Amino acid sequence: VKAIEKETNKEKKLKDKAEREAANKAKKEAQLAAKEKAKEDAAARRKIAAEEAAKKRKELELDKQWEARYPIEDLALGVEAEMLKQAAGHEKEAQRAAARLAVELVERGFKAQAALAA
């Protein structure tokens, strides 16, 4: 009877040990999975942040291009209006030609006074 009890106690201890090892293994796997998930989430957040930063840089670049272009157009329109005023006594075609010339000169980089003088 004692031998049988010894065997059952030994089997019980082995069974308990196997259960503890299985539980520890499952716990470690869960921890590894959680770490991997955290890494993936962090990578996704970094990717989204990088995409947003790139989008913002592109918008700023477009704004800079527009702002760099706008004063030239504004100057050209002002010169064109001034040319039309100066050529008010002439024919319409002459007025339009003078205005087109002034706009073209401004677009090429001439100052307003030089364009009006031309």
Which band of pLDDT confidence, cut at 50, 70 and 90, is reported for residue 89?
Answer: low
- pLDDT of residue 49 exceeding 60, the answer is yes
Residue 31: per-residue pLDDT: 97
Instruction: Fill in the amino acid letter for 61.
Output: E
DSSP 108: T
- pLDDT of residue 80 exceeding 60, the answer is yes
Model pTM score = 0.42
- pLDDT of residue 21 exceeding 70, the answer is yes
- pLDDT of residue 36 exceeding 80, the answer is yes
Residue 18: per-residue pLDDT: 95
- pLDDT of residue 69 exceeding 70, the answer is no
Lowest mean pLDDT among 65-74, 91-100, 106-115: 106-115
In whole angstroms, what is the distance from residue 102 CA to residue 108 CA? 10
DSSP 118: -
Give the tokens for residue 38. Answer: 């955290």
Output the CA–CA distances (angstroms, integers) from residue 53 to 35, 40, 50, 58, 72, in the order listed: 27, 20, 5, 9, 29
